[in-house]
Amino acid sequence: MKLRSGYDVIVVGGGTAGAIAGIAAARTGARTLLVEQYGTLGGVLSLGMSLKGVHDGQGHLALGGIGGELLDRARASGAATTVVSHHPRHGSIMGQDPEAVKLNLIEMVRESGLNLLLHAFLVDVLRDGATVQAIQVATKAGLEIIPAKCFVDCTGDADLAARAGAEMMIGRERDNGMQPVSAIFRVGGVDLEKTWSYLEEHPEDFETPVGYVGDEYSVAKFRAKPGVGCAGFRSLIAKARAAGDYTIPRDDMGFNPQVGRPEVTINITRVHGIDGTDPDDLTRAEIESQLQIIEGVRFLRKYVPGFEGCYVVSNPFQVGVRETRRIRGSYVLTKEDCATGRDFPDQVARGAYPLDVHDVGPSTGASLVPGGGTDLSLIPRSYGVPARSLIAQGVGNVLAAGRALSASHEAAGSARGQPVSMATGHAVGTMAAMAAMEGRAPAALDMARLQATLRAQGAVIERPDQPQSQETKNHA
C-alpha cells in the first residue's frame, strides 16, 4: 500500500465548498492536498444554476473572500452577470456560465499552490484515539495512505467525519427524513422571448410567491436581467399530468437562463425516499432522475412555449443530493438563527441563501401531501456562521463545511446554498491551516486572530453597514 506524505492539511471533496477550502488552506501557508473523486472541481456549482444569496435580502454583501474572487473573475471574463439585489424571492440572484467557472476555479487552484489528487475516493480513516492520523483512498493505482495534521470534510455527506467516529445528525430531527434529490440539467435551442411573452399573457404560470410583500413582481423585471430566472408553469404541468404526459412528483418548474445564450438550466426532477449515503439508493436515484430528464424534455417541447425545439446540452455529472449526514458541532445552527440574521462572537462566515426546504414526502397527483411542497423563505439580513458549527465533536482535528456543517434540518436548507458553502469552505480552510501550522486543535484557535486573518483575506465576517452600490440594486 502506497504512502503519500508531506501535508499539513487534507481536504476531502473538491465541490463548491471543498475547492474553496483547499485554496484557502494553501494561501494561508499550509501544505495542502485536495482529494476529489471526479476529474473537475466545483461540484454542483458546475450545473449552471443561478447563485442565490451573494447579497442578503436588503442588498448587503454576504459572500466575499475566495468565493467572491471566483465570481469576480467569472464576471470579468463574461461568464457571470452582476448580482441583482433585492430580489423578491431569493434576496439576490446572479447568472453564471458553469463551464467557464470551472476553468476559472482550476486556474485559481494552480495559482494558490494547492496540490490535487483527482480520481481518488475516500475509503477509510486511521485514527489514534480521538485524533485522525491519516486517510485511506482508492485510486487507479490501488490503495494509498495519506497522513496530515488536520482534515477538512467537504464530501457533502460527512463521509470523513462519519468514518472518524464524529458525532452525527441525519435528516429531519423527528424521523431522519431527508429532502428529495434532483438532477439539474440544461437545454439549448430555447426562444426565451417567446417564453417570457407567454408568461406575461398567462400570470397563472408566473405566480407571486406566497407572503411576498415587495414591489411589483413582474415578468418585465425578470426579463430585463440575463441569468435571472423563476419558478412557475403550474397550469401547464397540471394540463400535462391530466393528459398522462407528466408523472414527475413536482408541480412547478424552475428555470434559469444562461448568460448570453439560448440555453436554460432546468430544475424539475424530484426523487423521494433516497438516502444519499446508500449506494443502492443512489443508483436508483440516478436511474429515476435521468428518466425524469427524458420525460421533462418531452414536456418542455410539447407544452412550454419557446421550448418546442429544445435539446439537452448538459446532463449532470451526478444526481444532486440536498441532505444526508451532518456533523454535530458544539453549536447547531437553527432556523431562527438564519431567519433573524443572528450574529455570534465566533462567527467566521455569513449566509444569505434562502431557507429552502423541499418536501420530505412525495407529491400525490397534482396535490401535495400535507406539509409537502417547498418552503422557500427570504433571508432579509445575513446570518453569522459560528466556528463551533464547523468543528466536528468526538474527534479532535476534523472540520466540515458545505451541507455537512452542524445545522438543524431547516437551517441546513439555507447553509447548503452555494454562496454559503463557498463562505464556510473559505473559513474551514483557513482554520485548518492555522491549526496545523500552530500545532493545536481547531477548537483551540485564538478566535480574534482567526477572524482577523479571514478579514485580511477578504472574507465577510460582519454584515457590512451599507448595501452594495446602486449598480447591483435592482428590484428584479
Contacts of 327 (CB under 8 A, 6+ apart): 153, 158, 161, 166, 167, 168, 169, 392, 393, 398, 400, 404, 405, 406
What are the per-10-residue average pLDDT scores of the chain (476 residues)?
A: 95 97 98 97 86 94 97 90 80 86 94 98 97 98 97 98 97 92 95 93 80 62 72 94 96 85 91 95 97 98 97 92 96 97 98 89 42 72 98 97 97 96 98 98 98 98 85 41
Residue 417 grid cell:
446554498
Task: Identify the CATH class of 2-176+323-472.
Answer: alpha beta
Integer Cα distance of 151 and 8 in angstroms: 9
Measure the N-to-C terminal CA separation of the chain; round to a whole number of Å.
56
Domain boundaries, the chain: 2-176+323-472, 185-314
Give the span between the Cα atoms of 376 and 205, in whole angstroms: 18
Q: How many CB atoms lie within 10 A of CB 282?
A: 17
- Structural contact between residues 386 and 333, judged by C-beta atoms closer than 8 angstroms: yes
pLDDT of 207: 75
Q: Decide: pTM greater than 0.85.
A: yes
Q: Which distant-in-sequence residues (6+ apart) come within 8 Å of 379 by Cβ? A: 53, 56, 57, 91, 338, 339, 341, 351, 352, 353, 354, 355, 414
Q: Give the pLDDT of residue 370.
A: 33
Alpha carbon 473 to its chain's center: 23
